[in-house]
Structure 1
Amino acid sequence: MGKKNKQTESKHLKRFHYTIDTAVDKPFNWQQMVRLMKFMKPYAKTLLPAAMIAMLISTAVRLVVPIIIGRLTIDHALANRDTGLLVQLVIFIGLLYLFNYIANMLRIRWVNQLGQNVIYDLRDSLFSHVQRLSHRFFDSKSAGSILVRILNDVNSLQELFTNGIINLLMDIVTLTGILVIMFILSPKLALAVMIILPIMFFISTKLRKNIRRSWQQVRIQQSRLNSHLNESIQGIRVTQSFSQEKENTEFFGGVNRDNFERWRIATKKSAMFRPFVEMSNAIGTAILIWYGSHLILTDPNMTTGIFVSFAFYLGMFWDPISRLGQAYNQLLMAMSSSERIFEFLDEQPNVKEREDATELKDIKGHIEFDQVKFSYDEDRIALHQISLEMKAGQTVALVGHTGSGKSTIANLISRFYDPTEGAVKVDGHNLRDVTLDSLRQNISVVLQDTFIFSGTIMENIRFGRPDATDEEVIEASKVVGAHDFILRLADGYETEVEERGNILSVGERQLLSFARALLANPRIIILDEATASIDTETEQKIQSALNRLLKGRTSIIIAHRLSTIREADHIIVLENGRIIEQGSHDVLMKHQGEYYDLVKAQFQMLGAS
């Protein structure tokens, strides 16, 4: 990559500082693997034992056939020219292979069912857990890095659960059976053939650390790749607006090349194991031919049949050894992925619900901040010892420059965060003492950037109250003025709005969010710059709808358009996380303080435009 591309990549890496994980060298964590295996527990009495029984039957058939061929067929039937016994043995071997075929077919079916069920449960548990995490978690993790864990990392465990575990057990049983049988048949020849094993074990052990770290790097690079893809697709309009397609493509090329290199290195290291096994097989075969021939000539206990059986078992021996190497690679990949999965599963919400938390019922909506201090991090204090009161049914407006603490207050009321010091109360209940569901079921939040889910208009409005009837959805839409534009759509309320509601204008999406909030029928409603994306004419049209939406509810309005809040019962002016003045519009205008200056400046801007 050229100098310019490197500079471009270096510059863009800064925006991914929160998504890049680091590889850590540590021993294979068997406790973590045991924890992963616990996801098989629900199937420990059904699919797992059935698959293991089928595996044992198949393995037993494979182990007994070489003895039948060597000891019975060659040393007895052929040596004694017993045609009848030979025919019987051929038929018996054929029946054993048929039995083996049926056992293998059932094993494959059952292990695939087992694996798919485990993957389903694991992904479901991970997604459910992530849904309950606090906003601080999502502040520090990109959407792409979360997607990697729920999709890629879980998918990487699929091969382990569908084939890896049962195959690993089958290969261990096979190897153990082969070793036992070989030593029973001829201890001398078995020792001679197995002399290569200690050397093989020593060298393969040296490869483990490098292979495991390589697969860690693969997962990390995939996280970066997915993070960039997610950001690029979400921000495509901004990219095209600033004509940065070329720069974005160059950066993606760098990330994509890194991903390719990590995969190439990991597969290269993993691929070293099989040729090494094949070389060991060649050495073992040479020893078998040389020393086996010597024993046939010198040892009366060594027969041609035993030699042939040994040849079969030696051929069978190295395949499981090779597969064990592949299984170890699978375990390394699984551990790399499971580390990242359990990192999320072990993540605890910063906003924790107490075991004895009470449910909020029939609340009035009285809100109180008692000496509340809040910091997003140690270096950034968002609120300084705030004390305020919002009476039930009152409309309270929060005014101030960007970063003054308006949205922080709204976030604390919804308990997306807990205060660093002090307490936030609703109807006298400290929010730390109530259940999150009962609190948030009484609160509706309408944001400036309205999120519309894939699905129909009807489903999006009903999102906050799934049991609402179609008539209630339509009534809520009429109240906020969304009904008319919905009817003009191709399929009305059944129109599919696509991802993020791209077929709708910004104002139409905002009207849907008002309808969604009204349908939920909350006691507390928060409008966080909710009308900022709506033109003045549309805002005037829905002003009566807003009055209907806010009527009888405790309402918190955050808005830069002061025309939106002049009718509020109480206005709180914030600056740098402190309340500098508060009162009604008329009182604050008479005071001629910060609020007066804001109103004056805004009217001057309108006059200039």
Structure 2
Amino acid sequence: MSANDAKASHSNTAKTLTHRELDARDEPNQRPLSMAIILRLLSFTRPYAWQRNTLIGIVLLRAVQVPLLAWAVAAIINSLIARRDWDGLLWGTAGFVALAVFAEVTMHFRQRYALELGEKVIHDLRQLMFEHLQRMPMRFFNITKLGRVISRFVSDAEALRSGVQDVLFVSLVGGGRMVVAAAIMLWYDPVLFGVVAAMAPVLHMINRYFRSKLSLAYRQVQESMSRVTATLAESVSGIRVTQGFVRQDVNAELFNDLIEDHSEYNMRAAKLTGVFLPLIELNSQFFISVLLLLAGYQVVNNVLWVHEDPVSQVEALVVFFFMVPQFFGPLSALARQYNQALTAMAGAERVFSLLDHEPEPLDPPDAVDVDEIEGRVEFDEVGFEYQPGKPVLHDINFTAEPGQTIALVGHTGSGKSTIINLISKFYLPTAGQIRIDDLDLVKISADSMAKQLGIVLQQNFLFTGTVMDNIRVGKPDATEEDVYEAAAKLDCLDLFEAMPEGFNTNVGERGGNLSLGQRQLVCFTRAMLADPRIMILDEATSSVDTMTEARIQKALSLLLTNRTSFVVAHRLSTIRHADMVLVLDGGRIIERGTHNELLATAGVYANLYRQFIHASEA
């Protein structure tokens, strides 16, 4: 096997394993139609009980109206037309028209109320999912693809909408029609109705056979769509990398494999449905054939089993011809609704799985809020694992006194960002203890701790809106004067005012309308406005040009005054004046001291600094 063939084989194996892992992760463990899930979904209609109950009443009325319309036509034919009663026919027709109009008015409100109820339920579910998502820990977002989260809000939520506004009420109407039609047929001729009852076991066996196959098929369709959505979201987010490394063809091939899988699952479901629905229709046609033979035999041979004369038998036959479509007609609709119900169940299982995913508790029951802190941060034998058995921090010990600046230096993966995540209480240490002002960080509520922090990350994320909106993220009640003052302290007020619309400039999606340096300045001003006790700068100046960095370095001295600060940077010029530099490697602190002290030791830090100097001179 050539190297290229081996590489392709490994790639295909990896892709297959990934799909299997994703399928296993989201494979529902519950039955295709779970009463527990149905009741849970219906519980979301409780705030709209009046509309729901009114709708149920309208649905029951509609279920009676439709077969009654057909029965009215049969009655007019058997009585008024057969007796040549013209006056009676006029009144009968007028009554039929009035009933038909009433039925259509009922249909209007049935559809309207069902659509409105479905929208309200999905609105509440999406709001609940979003609020739940905001409380999820960082670990969840590190292991969950963006596209899978989006699919819960889009395709799965829409499947639930169909379950609420279509499946439930359409099925009630269809089932009601069948019950009323059956009652009318049983009243007119029990023997002929016995033929209908004889078809029930056949329909049951057909439904039972196809139920399991359709259940699996529609779940596979939903899961494959999740993979397509996840890959699409990832591809759009990484389009710069894709085009920069000329991976358009490779990505297109991978995406083509995903949509081919999705198409195959859809085709499989379509083939099953294509067999299932005609079989249901065939039962209706078969019954009509048996009805013609059975009723015709009684009239032709004058062998009457129920009625006393052939005329009554013919009248019953006319009624049956109008009632048969009312009885068998809903079966096709119910079969389609059953397919939609399977999709809704798969969507409901995934939505409720997200809602049932309890956030990792970061706060114990006795957690306390802190209003003000001095800013003393102490790591005592701290260890941490993102995955059990794979430690990324080992025995981290250091103390940052209030107002000190601590610099974290090391190669990628050395543990710098993990220390920042622990200080921010995005994660809890798996060993040791972190203390803030001698208080165990675990016992400080995450929300109150967040108010003590100012964070500027390497990925300077901006929300859609104006520059002013994004600066106010850290302090929503800040006035425009407060924002101007924060920008002035950073010596960048003139840069904001030079933008096309000043602070009212729209930043675009993810800040796309601004340069990297401008985005960084917005994040710095946001942190300045929040006025935190602990400042975290994670690669905070890595995206800023040299001239802008010089202005920011001067402003940072004011920003960091009397604040405990943690600075992570590859650009060593930003940490020369730190009170303590921690050099990390493999999750351990291998050197510590001031910039000058570490240079004097001629160790790892000194080597990093020499590399930085050489790179700058080059």
TM-score above 0.5, yes or no: yes
Residue 561 of structure 1, CA deviation = 2.1
Q: What is residue 386 of structure 1 aligned with on the other side?
A: 396
Equivalent-residue separation in structure 2 for 1:545 and 1:36 (angstroms): 54
Please tell me whether residue 530 in structure 1 is matched to residue 540 in structure 2: yes
The alpha-carbon distance between structure 1 residues 140 and 110, as it changes in their structure 2 partners (threshold 3 A), is same
Equivalent-residue separation in structure 2 for 1:17 and 1:104 (angstroms): 45
What are the Cα deviations for residues 20-63 of structure 1, in whole angstroms up to 9, with x where unaligned? 3334675323212222222222112x211111122222222223
Equivalent-residue separation in structure 2 for 1:109 and 1:220 (angstroms): 31
SS at match of 1:385: strand
The alpha-carbon distance between structure 1 residues 305 and 4, as it changes in their structure 2 partners (threshold 3 A), is farther
SS at match of 1:317: helix
The alpha-carbon distance between structure 1 residues 282 and 413, as it changes in their structure 2 partners (threshold 3 A), is same
SS at match of 2:413: coil
Q: What is residue 303 of structure 2 aligned with on the other side?
A: 298
Q: What is residue 278 of structure 1 aligned with on the other side?
A: 281
SS at match of 2:398: strand
Residue 65 of structure 1, CA deviation = 3.3
Please tell me whether residue 497 in structure 1 is matched to residue 502 in structure 2: no
Aligned residue type for 2:544: I
Residue 88 of structure 1, CA deviation = 2.5
The alpha-carbon distance between structure 1 residues 69 and 503, as it changes in their structure 2 partners (threshold 3 A), is closer
The alpha-carbon distance between structure 1 residues 390 and 17, as it changes in their structure 2 partners (threshold 3 A), is farther
Aligned residue type for 1:305: E
Equivalent-residue separation in structure 1 for 2:460 and 2:275 (angstroms): 53
SS at match of 1:402: coil
More off after superposition, 303-312 vs 453-462: 303-312
Q: What is residue 211 of structure 1 aligned with on the other side?
A: 214
Residue 354 of structure 1, CA deviation = 3.4
Residue 15 of structure 1, CA deviation = 10
Aligned residue type for 2:280: V
SS at match of 1:282: helix
- Of 35, 50, 53 in structure 2, the residue corresponding to residue 49 of structure 1 is 53
Equivalent-residue separation in structure 2 for 1:534 and 1:226 (angstroms): 34
Partners of 2:362 and 2:425 within 8 A in 1: no
More off after superposition, 147-156 vs 172-181: 172-181
- Of 563, 586, 592 in structure 2, the residue corresponding to residue 576 of structure 1 is 586
Equivalent-residue separation in structure 1 for 2:215 and 2:541 (angstroms): 53
Please tell me whether residue 516 in structure 1 is matched to residue 526 in structure 2: yes
Equivalent-residue separation in structure 1 for 2:30 and 2:53 (angstroms): 33
The alpha-carbon distance between structure 1 residues 365 and 25, as it changes in their structure 2 partners (threshold 3 A), is closer
Please tell me whether residue 564 in structure 1 is matched to residue 574 in structure 2: yes
More off after superposition, 7-16 vs 88-97: 7-16
What are the Cα deviations for residues 105-155 of structure 1, in whole angstroms up to 9, with x where unaligned? 111111111011111111111121111111111111111111111112112
Aligned residue type for 1:234: S
Q: What is residue 119 of structure 1 aligned with on the other side?
A: 122
SS at match of 1:572: strand
Partners of 1:482 and 1:512 within 8 A in 2: no
SS at match of 1:388: strand
Q: What is residue 63 of structure 1 aligned with on the other side?
A: 67
Aligned length: 604
Aligned residue type for 2:535: I
Partners of 1:454 and 1:500 within 8 A in 2: yes
Equivalent-residue separation in structure 1 for 2:70 and 2:20 (angstroms): 58
Q: What is residue 196 of structure 2 aligned with on the other side?
A: 193
The alpha-carbon distance between structure 1 residues 201 and 419, as it changes in their structure 2 partners (threshold 3 A), is same
Please tell me whether residue 103 in structure 1 is matched to residue 113 in structure 2: no
Residue 187 of structure 1, CA deviation = 1.2
Q: What is residue 253 of structure 2 aligned with on the other side?
A: 250
Q: What is residue 223 of structure 2 aligned with on the other side?
A: 220
Partners of 1:273 and 1:322 within 8 A in 2: no
The alpha-carbon distance between structure 1 residues 42 and 6, as it changes in their structure 2 partners (threshold 3 A), is farther
What are the Cα deviations for residues 324-348 of structure 1, in whole angstroms up to 9, with x where unaligned? 1111111100111112212211112
Q: What is residue 423 of structure 1 aligned with on the other side?
A: 433
Residue 279 of structure 1, CA deviation = 0.5
Q: What is residue 33 of structure 1 aligned with on the other side?
A: 38
Equivalent-residue separation in structure 1 for 2:488 and 2:396 (angstroms): 39
The alpha-carbon distance between structure 1 residues 167 and 425, as it changes in their structure 2 partners (threshold 3 A), is same
Residue 19 of structure 1, CA deviation = 7.8
Partners of 2:474 and 2:526 within 8 A in 1: yes
Aligned residue type for 2:47: P
Residue 190 of structure 1, CA deviation = 0.2
Partners of 1:414 and 1:439 within 8 A in 2: yes
Residue 5 of structure 1, CA deviation = 13
Equivalent-residue separation in structure 1 for 2:545 and 2:240 (angstroms): 21
Equivalent-residue separation in structure 2 for 1:355 and 1:479 (angstroms): 40
Aligned residue type for 1:597: N
Give the RMSD, CA atoms, in angstroms: 2.4
Please tell me whether residue 170 in structure 1 is matched to residue 173 in structure 2: yes
Aligned residue type for 2:440: N
Partners of 1:397 and 1:556 within 8 A in 2: yes
Give the TM-score, by structure 2 length: 0.92
The alpha-carbon distance between structure 1 residues 14 and 196, as it changes in their structure 2 partners (threshold 3 A), is closer
What are the Cα deviations for residues 435-471 of structure 1, in whole angstroms up to 9, with x where unaligned? 2211112112111121122211111111222211122
Equivalent-residue separation in structure 2 for 1:5 and 1:326 (angstroms): 45
Q: What is residue 474 of structure 2 aligned with on the other side?
A: 464
SS at match of 2:465: coil
The alpha-carbon distance between structure 1 residues 355 and 171, as it changes in their structure 2 partners (threshold 3 A), is farther
Q: What is residue 604 of structure 2 aligned with on the other side?
A: 594
The alpha-carbon distance between structure 1 residues 195 and 128, as it changes in their structure 2 partners (threshold 3 A), is same
The alpha-carbon distance between structure 1 residues 131 and 319, as it changes in their structure 2 partners (threshold 3 A), is same
Q: What is residue 130 of structure 1 aligned with on the other side?
A: 133
- Of 250, 263, 277 in structure 1, the residue corresponding to residue 266 of structure 2 is 263
SS at match of 1:530: coil
Partners of 2:71 and 2:323 within 8 A in 1: no
Residue 270 of structure 1, CA deviation = 2.4
- Taking only the aligned residue pairs, the percentage that are identical comes to 36
SS at match of 1:164: helix
Q: What is residue 321 of structure 2 aligned with on the other side?
A: 311
Equivalent-residue separation in structure 2 for 1:194 and 1:476 (angstroms): 80
More off after superposition, 528-537 vs 332-341: 528-537
Unaligned 5+ segments in structure 2 are none
Partners of 1:193 and 1:288 within 8 A in 2: no
Partners of 1:350 and 1:417 within 8 A in 2: no
Aligned residue type for 2:196: V
More off after superposition, 426-435 vs 374-383: 426-435
What are the Cα deviations for residues 411-436 of structure 1, in whole angstroms up to 9, with x where unaligned? 00111111112222222332322322
Partners of 2:406 and 2:582 within 8 A in 1: yes
Equivalent-residue separation in structure 2 for 1:148 and 1:15 (angstroms): 21
What are the Cα deviations for residues 227-259 of structure 1, in whole angstroms up to 9, with x where unaligned? 221121111112212222222222222222222
Aligned residue type for 1:52: I
Equivalent-residue separation in structure 2 for 1:24 and 1:540 (angstroms): 56
The alpha-carbon distance between structure 1 residues 6 and 276, as it changes in their structure 2 partners (threshold 3 A), is farther
The alpha-carbon distance between structure 1 residues 360 and 6, as it changes in their structure 2 partners (threshold 3 A), is same
More off after superposition, 580-589 vs 123-132: 580-589
SS at match of 2:222: helix
Equivalent-residue separation in structure 1 for 2:127 and 2:534 (angstroms): 32
The alpha-carbon distance between structure 1 residues 469 and 208, as it changes in their structure 2 partners (threshold 3 A), is same
- Of 424, 431, 445 in structure 2, the residue corresponding to residue 435 of structure 1 is 445
